[in-house]
Amino acid sequence: SKHFWDVAGLKSTKCVRSEIKLSQDDALSRKSGESVKLSCEVSGFSLSEYWTCWIRQKSGTTLEWIGEINGAGSTINYTPSFKGRFTISKENSKNMLYLKINSMQAEDTANYYCAKYTRQRKS
């Protein structure tokens, strides 16, 4: 299913949605221990020119900022609690952003969103 980011409540993060849609497995329900790779296809801007980030929201809870990747894909920053099992990557030529989750756990079930920074920031 396709999910569009709702900017409501996004002030706690540095990312704001743009014309980005996220394709995800329904409910992202997998057996514990398996891995999953989420894909986010962007439109309306060039991935190589902006920092982008991944955010997740569990049902009825606040947003959790997972991490960010720069335009070139050379710098990736993670929230400490997500570092290790979560890997952010991208393919600029395909306008695709990815999030791989290793060793899935029950608490990883959530809606996952990709977003871009409001201002152009290449470094």
The count of residues in the chain is: 123
**β-pair type (86-91, 76-78):** unpaired
Nearest CA to 114 among 50, 53, 25, 23? 53
Per the confidence metrics, is the pTM higher than 0.95? no
Show pLDDT as tens, one digit a residue, over the chain (123 residues).
Answer: 333 333 333 444 455 554 344 444 444 555 667 888 888 888 778 889 888 889 888 778 778 889 999 999 999 999 999 999 999 999 999 989 999 999 888 788 777 888 887 655 544
Domains (range + CATH), the chain? 2-117 (2.60.40.10)
Q: Could you tell me which residues come within 8 angstroms of residue 68 by beta carbon, excluding any fewer than 6 positions away?
A: 14, 15, 51, 52, 53, 54, 76, 77, 88, 117
Question: What are the tokens at 62?
Answer: 């606040």
